Amino acid sequence: MAGMALCEPRHLYNVLNQRWRFPRLAEPRYLCLLDARTQREYNESHIITARRIEQSPTGEYLVPDSEELGCVRYCVVYDCKTSSLDCCDYEEEEKGKDAEEGAAVQYAGSLQQFTRHPVLVLKGGYKRFSACYPFLRTQKILWMPQELDNFQPYPVEILPAKLYMGNFKQACDQQIQKDLKIKAQVNISEQPATLFAEGSKYLHISVPDSLEANLFSSFATICHFIDAQLDCGAVLVFSSLGISRSSTVTMAYLMHSCQFSLKRAWDYVLKCKMNTRPHRAFVKQLSDWETQIYGTTITDISEPNY
């Protein structure tokens, strides 16, 4: 069995907002998001692209296409507010607990035999996720392939409600800035961008995405700017495509302010944004930054991962 695991709301948010050439939500074997709440709750509002779990006339949960589950990369189940995988916590209906609480764990248990990866149970359920990301709620039930192709992802979340990483198009989207409460931007592209929130702060480090580009000399300035702005609101770090330059300075920040090694920062950012790929010159600059911070080289960048 593939097993089960809890899924933090931030992880599901990032899964929903991955993009390569097209949004990854358009890939049929990418995400199976299942809502275990009542029909009424689902109809009122649910997480985008979620399907409600079907039940038999006797009230038993029905398993979706087992072949689909066997191929899907992420299978995520949520109910109203489950926060533990311990089913024993939920057998207290007679004591006044919500009968729907714990449904996600029970259903995930029946799915794990069909999946290659652990079935994820959303921690805190719909209640917590929708409180963090109200803009990802919807009443829409059917998504056509063209609609998924045209879905506009949000920047990925690096630090909950504080630090985001994205591309130039997202940085210039007024609705995204409003939804994420962006109060400061760090622009690592060569083009200037626009801030919409009154009193917002802006740092522009114009650097080409080339092997000759020097980001190392700006790491300290960027890290100090982000630290100074996080108390005022969320910060968005972005570059043209949000793949190389923005991920480089995001890793540099995590190394500086969160005491991450380069390896830990690399793995962390890659989990947030799956197509993260600083080019080789930036990897060397990150290694030099690690050495400057810790007085020694911790991460071996000769390994194939880098």
Q: In the structure, what pLDDT confidence band is assigned to residue 135 with cuts at 50, 70 and 90?
A: very high
Same domain, 111 and 90: yes
Domain closes at, from 128, 149, 170 = 149
Same domain, 161 and 24: no
Domain closes at, from 149, 180, 196 = 149
Query: Average pLDDT for residues 100-105, to the nearest whole number?
Result: 82
- Residue 13 near residue 31 (C-beta atoms within 8 A): no
Q: In the structure, what pLDDT confidence band is assigned to residue 193 with cuts at 50, 70 and 90?
A: confident
Rounded distance between C-alpha atoms, residue 14 and residue 164, angstroms = 10
Rounded distance between C-alpha atoms, residue 69 and residue 51, angstroms = 14
Q: Which of 74, 189, 175 is nearest to 134 (CA)?
A: 175
Percent of the chain whose pLDDT exceeds 90 = 77
Query: Residue 92 belongs to a domain with what CATH number?
Result: 3.40.250.10
Same domain, 140 and 171: no
Same domain, 255 and 219: yes
Tell whether 305 is covered by a domain. no
One-character DSSP codes across 34-95: EE-S-HHHHHH-EETT-EEPPB-TTSPBPP--HHHHHH-SEEEEE-SS---S-GGGG--GGG
* Number of structural domains in the chain: 2
Instruction: Choose the weakest-confidence range: 152-156, 199-203, 258-262.
Output: 199-203
- Which of 239-260 are b and which e, b meaning 16 or more Cβ less than 10 Å from the residue's Cβ? bbbbbbbbbbbbbbbbbbeeeb
- Domain region containing 63: 4-149
Residue 95 confidence (pLDDT): 42
Residue 197 confidence (pLDDT): 67
Residue 100 confidence (pLDDT): 60
pLDDT in tens, 26-79: 998 999 999 999 999 999 999 999 999 987 787 677 778 777 888 999 999 999
Query: How far does CA 127 lie from the centroid of its chain?
Result: 18
- Residue 37 near residue 103 (C-beta atoms within 8 A): yes
Q: What are phi and psi of 203, to 5 degrees?
A: -120, 120
Residue in this structure with the two tokens 């009424």, named with its chain if needed: 40
Same domain, 50 and 140: yes
Average pLDDT, the chain: 91
Same domain, 174 and 284: yes
Same domain, 14 and 140: yes
Domain closes at, from 149, 173, 205 = 149
Same domain, 119 and 172: no
Same domain, 92 and 14: yes
